[in-house]
Structures are given as structure tokens and as C-alpha cells.
Amino acid sequence: MSTATADHHDHDDHHGPAPGLMRWVYTTNHKDIGTLYLLFALVMFFIGGGMALIIRAELFQPGLQIVDPLFFNSMTTMHALVMIFGVVMPAFVGLANWMIPMMIGGPDMALPRLNNWSFWIMPFAFAVLLSTLFMEGGGPAGGWTLYAPLSLQGGDNLAFVIFAIHFMGISSVMGSINIVATIFNMRAPGMTLMKMPLFVWTWLITAYLLIAVIPVLAGAVTMLLTDRYFDTSFFSAAGGGDPVMFQHIFWFFGHPEVYILILPAFGIISSIIPTFARKPLFGYASMVYATASIAFLSFIVWAHHMFTVGMPLAGEMFFMFATMMISVPTGVKVFNWIATMWRGSMTFETPMLFAIGFLVMFTIGGLSGLMLAITPADIQYHDTYFVVAHFHYVLVPGAIYSIMAATYYWIPKWTGNMYDEKWGKIHFWVSTVFLNVLFFPMHFVGLAGMPRRIPDYSMQFADWNAVATIGAFGFGFSQLIFVYVVYKCIKGGEKATTEVWEGADGLEWTVPSPAPYHTFETPPAIR
Amino acid sequence: MSIVLRWLVTAYALLFCSLSLAAIGDINMPVGVTPISKEVYGLHMMIFWICCVIGVLVFAVMFYSMFKHRKSKGAKAADFHESTVVEIIWTAVPLVILIAMAIPAAKTLIAMEDTSDADVTIKVTGYQWKWHYEYLDSEISFFSSLDADHNAARQVGSGIDVSQFDNYLKEVDNELVLPVGKKIRFLHTASDVIHSWWVPALAVKKDAIPGFINENWALIEEPGVYRGKCAELCGRDHGFMPIVVRAVPEEEYEQWVAEMSPAPMVAETSEDSAPAAADGDAEREWALAELMEKGESVYNTSCAACHQANGQGLPGAFPAIAGSPVATGPVDAHINVIYAGVSGTAMAAFANQLSDSDMAAVITYQRNAFGNTVGDLVQPSAIKALR
């Protein structure tokens, strides 16, 4: 995408991209690697989405019509693993690669070769993970949470899944170290920490979360591996172990992971809303502190995923109160965004539409999250479609919408061309309508008593499941519009200006569009 | 934007058509029939309305701003970007709301965890994929699995219209009978993987964890039938292990206990009473045809979920019975697999799940069906000798 030549540049620039396919294999350029990450995430988005459509097709009506229950379980498991580790995380890393050096006025990432490696691990990790679907016995079918002892019952796919998770973990940790090193070492003189754009801040905090918790996940899955193949009994009561210990370790990773999936989104939204409101972000400092508070709280709420496992009363109380506390910094963020819009001069181009979609629907997901924090009620909600509705509201119009918003927002800078505004808006509206048709009814069936992860259900849930399936297919296919818009934008279109957006503020909008292959070889002057 | 509008209208028309079709009562949590379930419902509705009010206020300000402060209406951007007072207010106000919600929630939680002074104690054990109930105050115990008709209808490509069943996937062969007005304590455990015993109307959901015992309780206030499901993913047939609780007045319950105690209703599959209930069954010689007939029905309820009705298994996950080295090899080894299970795999030990004659019949069936032609037969007495 970034095929700009040196003639945009005011000084000597002989390191253009290498010709041919090998450019992408050998590249150490942060823009190329960012592009690779984003394209990888897009491909995985359709693979994970295809799995979701298999799930929804089977759930269209009661009775088993299409798939065996075991395959259904492996679809729910793989859908989650692909969407979390293959879509949201790589997409955010791709955005970090593209934008962080440009936002802080640095020439590239601090560790470019490590950067190349952390990307190129990913396709192999996912080839291993997806290959389990074609093995005898099928893919992992114990849920993405891999709870012991169920996950230990399956075939040898477990070994491959664990291997793939280790690979992804190595990639994430290397990517995170790179981001931390970049932010601390590559800032232009005068770019103090409290002048950094919020996307950089949220990614800095996310990177620390990743470095802290990925090894915890690695430990948990390695213990599963030795339980399965080397006769240890970490999670087997018969051998003196404890199945619940797996859940504690897993969610000690898993809850910070939830914020890994949403903090960079907060950063993106904090960039987009001020641009289209033509007004500076309200409460910059409190946004930074709120992000840090959320990150801290994320380490002390893990057991709210486990209110039914039989914890002591004191434990349940602690995790209930700690979980409720999260709504305070999250609320601060939402209020700050609204205050940024207040008395602005707003226009509603596609990135702003997605940002507002994020704001509205993430708030809905946040409020159902508050309901889930109330332990006695959570015991009823737990493991039902109410939970499924909640986390899809924070992940799809949350994480995914922020990635879409970011793409529309920065793609003119990446390609030098404006995207097709009309189709961008159509993409937003069609997605948003179908998304709500898909996920909103899940609140109803969940409250009425439909457990999650079941391939077949009672007649009372039939109507809403049919509605949700229609929404799913509508939402799934409307993402083809996104592919069309992105493709068209790469191919050509109205030329983008340097500023791109009228209200744009930040160093990335001071370099030409498309951004030259190398930017800020000499650091910019910071106001 | 006319295309967008048309999409919007179509999709929402669709949504609201379905809304009118769906029973409106089925979109919320049931109030339930226990003091705890009513408290939980109250908490749920309270927090729901609080969230609604917060949502309406937040969205009202947001949408007002979006309509008023748009460039096309000539809005000029202000340039304020912080206010310590406002920030303190919108940190403190949510805190106060949270404390107001936390107090009643904590009270309910304390009541939920108080399992003392129970009148009746039931031990519930999760199996893949059925429940076992043990009345610890009497001698009653039995398994409870999905109703056979529903089980037949739910197979992939069964061709049976499932909408003919009023309570599709919510009927079991043996219901859990409980007295009204008594404090019932449940002890939860599991024999293989983690399950979760959930009856929404009782607001009871607790994980059944192998090797550990969890407790909770219910006091049912109204007689009736209350249905639930396994809530924790427990393998292939997780969606097919329903729970049916029949709550009856105390006299009726006492009568039921008296009827059940001497000769349990499901003697054939009863754990504690298996050897006793076998009375004549285990002693006499069985004919091949008789064993095969019984074996087929036992196979379909206890084995087919994994090894499939046609005995082909699911390659890589569950081995085939047809042509298997176990089912066509030495009979003692075959018996041992069924009796004691295979550790480290999903193959359960059936010694406590099946009676002598059930086990003898199903082993005989496996050795002589699906194209297996070993020809030998296993007598119930051979199983009895193992116990």
C-alpha cells in the first residue's frame, strides 16, 4: 500500500520497498508489517465469521439439522480463538505498527527485525491451529477457555492447540516489548509522555498487560499439556489436583485479556471523536489515569467469571465489589467522549459513524456488564446467552467497530486515496442494523434460560434464535462491503490531502498522503 | 441514503414482527418460586432499571449534542477541554450509585450461601450426560436422563419434527421429586468433567466439579414442575441433559418416599441397590436373543452418544465398536473396559451406572452387533462376580 517514492520527501531516501513478493517476507518496515498484520486480521475475520455462521445456521431452528454436536462445540471453540487471537489482537498490533511511530515522530519501531518475526509467527500459528479441524477427531471442542478436565478428554488436537497458543503468545510478547521499547525510546524530542496521543498511551498500557499475562496463559496450557501427556495431576482431583485451579489461572490471564481487546479501541475512539467534533479531547489527563485504573483493576476481578464454582462468601463479595468498581473509570471515559462532542462542530463521515456506533453500543455492553457484576443475579446470568450478548456487544461494536473506524480514519494516509464515502456509510448502517438484530435478542433468550454453547434448544427460544440467525447472515455478508471499500481505496480514488480531515490534529497528519516509506528520519519539532 | 433507510425499515419490521410472534413473557428472567429467586429477580429488575435510567440520560445528552452541535447547523466548536469539578462529579456520582446497589446485593448473597439447618439433603452428581440424584435422608437414588422420544428426535437428520414436543429437550425419564415448604440442601459433584446444575425457577446454579462437593439450597414455595439445564459445557451432549424438578406438598412427598424406598422405581439402573434389585436377574441364565434385545436399548441410552447408534464412533474422538479390538477380542478385557472405564479418556466406568444384567446385555450386544460376530454371550452372573 505504501508505495510512495522519495520525491515526496525533502531529503535523501534511497531505501524504498524491495521489489516483488520477497518485500513482504523480509520487510522490517513498520508500515509494511502493519499492513501485513491488518490483512492477516481481515482474512481471519472471514474465517472466524464463517465459523460463526455455521453456529448460527445450526441454531436457526430447534432440532439438529446440519452438524454433529461435537463439531458444533469445536466451532464455538475455534470461533473464539480465531476472533480473539487472530482478528482483534493482530489488527490492533497492525494499527500500532502503522501509527505509533508516526504519532510519536519516530522513524520506525525500535526493534524492526523482532517486528518482522512477531508477524511471521502468526500465519504458522494459525495454520497449526486451523489444521486441527482436519485431523481425526476434529478440532478442540472444550470451549476456548480450555477448562480441565473436559479439554483433556479430546484427541491429540490439544497438543497442536497448545503449540499454536505458545506461538501466538511469543508473537504477542515480542510485539508488546517492541511497542514499549518504541514508545520509550523513539519519541521525538519534546514529545513528553503526557503529550502522547491516547492511542499511544492505551497501547503502552496494553503492552504491559500482555507482557504480564501471556506467560500466565502459557503456564496454564503447559500444565494442561503435562496433565494430558506426562501423567501430572495439576487439574485432576484424583491425583491431588484441582480443576478449579485451572479456571483461576486461566482467568488471571483472561480478564486482563478482555482489556487488551478494548484499551486500544479506547485510544482509537479518543483520536477520532476530537477530529470530527473539531474540538480537543476533553479530560486528556483523566483519560490516561482512567486507562491505568482499568488496567490495574483488571488484575483483581478475574474470579467474576467463576461465581458458580463454589468460592467462599468473602471471595464472592470481594470480586463483586472490585468488578463494580470498573464501571467508574469506564464511565469517566464515556463521559469524557460525550463532553468532547458537546458544543463541538460535528460532521459524520464514516470513521465518526463507527466511533459513535462504538460509543452507543459499547455503553449498552458496559451496562449489561454492570448487571453481570451483581453476584446473586450473575449466578442466574452465568453461562447463558445473556453473557454471550454482553461480550459480543463489547467486542463487536466495541473492538471490531473501533478497528473499522480506525481503518476508515487512517486509510487515506496509508493509501493516499480517499475511500468511497457513500459505500463506507452504507457499510456502517447495514452492519449496525444487522448487528443489533443479531445480538440484541440474545439478551432475551439468555434471561429466559437458554444456556450458551448448546447446539439445540427448546421451542420457547425458537423465534429469537431465528431472528438472531437472520441478523448473523446479514452482518456477515455486509462485511463484504468493507472488503470492497478497502480494495477500491487501495486501487485508487480521490487523492487525499496531507491533513485528510479538516479537524485532524497529530503528527501523522503532517506527513504526505500516502505516508512515504520512511517518515520522520529527522525528528519533527514538537509544539 | 434511501437504500440505508429501506434496509433499516425492513430489518426493524422483521424484528418487530418476530416480537409480536414471540411470547413476550419469555424475554425476561422468571420470578421463580423460592424466597431467594424472588430476591434475585428483584435485584435483577432494580439493576436493570438503574442501567436503563443511566443509559437514557447518557444517550439523551449524546444525541442532543449530535443534533445541535453539528457543523451543518452552523455550530462553532468551543475549545474547553477540561473541568476538574465536572470530572469529580461524574466520578463520585457513579460511586454512590454503586454503593446503593452493592448493599442489597451483598445481603442476598449472604442469604444464598447459608445452607445451614436443611430439612432434606439431595446429592446431585453430574455424569456425561445425565444426572444422578441421591436422597441422603432415605435410601432413594436414581439416574435422570433425557426422555427417549426427545433423544430420538434430536439426532442429526432424525427426520422427526421436534416442534411436536411441548417441552422439547426439557423432559427426563425420572424426575427429581422434592417437598414444598422445606429447606432443601443440594450437594453437587461430578464423576467425569465439570457440569453445572441449574434450575432458573429455584435460582440455583452451582458447578458440579469432580473430586469436590459444592453446596447450595432452595425452599420451594409452590408445587409445580420446574425445568432446568446443565449450564457448563461438558462435552458433546452438553445440551441434552435436562433437569426436571417436581415439587409436591409434604404429604405427597412422604408417600412418594415410602413408595420408592423399598423397591426403587428404576431398580435396573439404580446405583446403591443394583446388586439387591437384580434379585433373580443376575442368578438365572439369559438367552442370546434376550441379551441382544436388552443390550440394544442399553446401548442406545448409554453408549450411542459417543460411539454412535451405528457403532462407527467418531474417528479420533470416540472409537468405533464395529470391528474394534476390544469388542472382538478377549471377553474379560471387554468387560473390564465397561466395568472400570479407561482412565485418561472419556470412557466412563459403568460399574455404578448400570446393573449386572444391563452390563452383561450391552457387552453381549457390542460383541454381536454392527457386523461383530464373536458369538459369545456374557451372563449377568459374570458381572455380579466382579462386584
Buried b (16+ CB within 10 A) or exposed e, A20-34: eeeebeebebbbbbb
Domain assignment present for residue B326? The answer is: yes
Do residue B231 and residue A371 have CB atoms under 8 angstroms apart?
Answer: no
User: Between B12 and A467, where is the model more confident?
Assistant: A467
Q: Is the pLDDT of residue B18 over 80?
A: no
Task: Identify residue B122 by its one-letter amino acid code.
Answer: I
Indicate if the pLDDT at residue A372 is higher than 80: yes
Chain B residues in contact with A347 (beta carbon < 8 A): 70-72
pLDDT score, position A137: 82
pLDDT for position A501: 94
Q: What is the pLDDT of residue B301?
A: 80
Which residues of A are part of the catalytic machinery? 79, 108, 144, 171-172, 255, 257, 259, 270, 304-305, 330, 333, 452
The per-residue pLDDT for B288 is 84
What is the DSSP secondary structure assignment for residue A17, as one 8-state letter?
Answer: P
Whole-number Å distance between alpha carbons of A507 and A45: 30
Output the pLDDT for position A5: 43
Which one of B265, B290, B308 terminates a domain? B265
- Better-predicted residue by pLDDT, B333 or A55: A55
- B129: helix, strand or coil: coil
Q: Is residue B13 part of a domain?
A: no
- Closest by Cβ to A70, choosing from B200, B234, B317: B317
What is the rounded average pLDDT for all residues in chain A? Answer: 93
Q: What is the pLDDT of residues A435-465, one digit of tens each?
A: 999 999 999 999 999 999 999 999 999 999 9
pLDDT at B23: 46
* Distance separating the N- and C-terminal Cα atoms of chain B: 77
Same-domain check for residues B134 and B192: yes
Least confident of A182-186, A317-321, B18-22, B128-132: B18-22
A449: chain B residues, CB-CB within 8 Å: 30, 200, 228-229
The 10s digit of each residue's pLDDT in A87-106 is: 999 999 999 999 999 999 99
Taking a contact as any Cβ pair under 8 Å apart, which residues of chain A between 3 and 22 contact chain B?
A: none
- Helix-helix angle A112-131:A69-81, to 10 degrees: 170
For A376, residues 6+ apart whose C-beta sits below 8 A from its C-beta are B36, B39, B40, B43, B105, B108, B109, B112, B203
Q: Is the pLDDT of residue B317 over 80?
A: no
Distance CA A459, CA A453 (A): 17
Looking at the structure, do residues B180 and B261 belong to the same domain, yes or no? yes
Least confident of B45-49, B118-122, B368-372: B368-372
Do B222 and B284 fall within a single domain?
A: no
**For residue A448, which residues of chain B lie inside 8 Å, CB to CB?**
26-30
pLDDT class of A509 with cuts at 50, 70, 90 = very high
Radius of gyration of chain A (CA): 23
CATH number for the domain harbouring residue B289: 1.10.760.10
Instruction: Identify whether B134 is part of a domain.
Output: yes
Measuring CA to CA, which residue among A45, A48, A65, A46 is closest to residue A465? A65
How much is the average pLDDT of B162-187? 93
pLDDT value for B274: 44
Instruction: Test A279 with B79 for CB contact under 8 angstroms.
Output: yes
Answer yes or no: are the C-beta atoms of A86 and A128 closer than 8 Å: no
At B158, the pLDDT band (50, 70, 90 cuts) reads confident
pLDDT, tens only, A468-498:
999 999 999 999 999 999 999 999 889 999 9
Residue A162 has pLDDT above 60, yes or no: yes
Closest CA to A478 of A417, A384, A401, A416: A401
B237 and B159 in one domain? Answer: yes
Helix A89-104 vs helix A112-131: crossing angle, to nearest 10: 170
Confidence at residue B275, expressed as pLDDT on a 0 to 100 scale? 41
Predicted confidence band of residue B263 (pLDDT cuts 50, 70, 90): low
Residue B271: what pLDDT?
A: 44
Instruction: Mark which residues 319-348 of A lie under 8 Å from B by CB.
Output: 320-321, 324-325, 327-328, 331-332, 334-335, 338-348
Same-domain status, B92 and B147: no
Summarize pLDDT for A205-262 with one digit per residue, the tens: 999 999 999 999 999 999 999 999 999 999 998 889 999 999 999 999 999 999 999 9
Preferred mutation among B21, B36, B162 to probe A, highest tally of A CBs within 10 A: B162
Task: For residue A151, give every residue at least 6 positions away whose Cβ sits within 8 Å of its Cβ, in sequence order, or none.
Answer: A140, A142, A143, A158, A224
Separation between Cα atoms, residue B363 and residue B306, nearest integer Å: 16
Read off the C-alpha cell for A412: 487515506
What contacts A452, CB < 8 A, 6 or more positions away? A383, A384, A385, A387, A388, A446, B233
- CATH number of the domain enclosing B49: 1.10.287.90
Kindly state whether residues B281 and B245 are assigned to the same domain: no
Domain membership of residue B6 (yes or no) is: no
DSSP state of A191: -
Domain count, chain B: 3
Q: What is the pLDDT of residue B339?
A: 87
pLDDT in tens, B52-69: 999 999 999 999 999 999
Listed ranges A16-30, B16-30, B201-215, B333-347; the one with the highest mean pLDDT:
B201-215
**Helix axis angle, A313-325 relative to B84-112, nearest 10°?**
160
- Three-state DSSP at B249 gives coil
pLDDT tens-digit readout, A379-403: 999 999 999 999 999 999 999 999 9
Question: What CATH number is attached to the domain comprising B160?
Answer: 2.60.40.420
CB contact at 8 A, A415 and A38: no
Please, is B216 exposed, middle or buried when counting C-beta atoms within 10 Å of its C-beta (0-12, 13-18, 19+)?
A: buried
Q: What is the dihedral of CA B313, B315, B320, B322, to 10 degrees?
A: 110
Cell output for A354: 463507527
**pLDDT of amino acid B185:** 96
Confirm whether B16 is domain-assigned: no
| Grid cell of B44 as nine digits | 435483577
Q: How far is A257 from chain B (nearest CA, A)?
A: 21
Examine the domain organization and report whether B260 and B299 are in the same domain: no
Is B4 a domain residue? no
What pLDDT digit, counting tens, does each position of A399-418 carry? 999 999 999 999 999 999 99
Provide the pLDDT for residue A15: 66
Q: Which of B214, B242, B265 is the last residue of a domain?
A: B265
B97 and B203 both lie in a single domain: no
Residues B280 and B258 in one domain: no
Q: Does B49 touch chain A (CB under 8 A)?
A: no
In a domain, B189, yes or no: yes
At B6 the pLDDT is 55
Contacts of B57 in chain A (CB under 8 A): none
| pLDDT band, very low/low/confident/very high, at B12 (cuts 50, 70, 90) | low
d(CA A324, CA A328): 8
Residue B5: pLDDT band with limits 50, 70, 90: low
CB–CB contact B235 A153 (8 Å): yes
Contact criterion met (CB < 8 Å) for A331 and B240: no
The closest alpha carbon to A353, from A426, A266, A419, belongs to A426
In terms of residue numbers, what domain contains B308?
276-386
Residues B162 and B200 in one domain: yes
Q: Report the pLDDT value the prediction gives residue B77, as an integer from 0 to 100.
A: 86
Contact A341 B58 (CB under 8 A): no
Question: Mean pLDDT over residues A317-345, rounded?
Answer: 95
Same domain, B209 and B101: no
Using 50, 70 and 90 to split pLDDT, how confident is the model at B313? confident
**Could you give the count of Cα atoms lying within 13 Å of B340 in the half-sphere of its Cβ?**
11
Is residue B10 one of the residues assigned to a domain?
A: no
pLDDT of residue B3 exceeding 80, the answer is no
Residues B260 and B127 in one domain: yes
Candidate ranges B140-149, B281-290, B334-343; pick with highest mean pLDDT: B140-149
pLDDT of residue B326: 87
Closest CA to A214 of A143, A100, A79, A118: A118
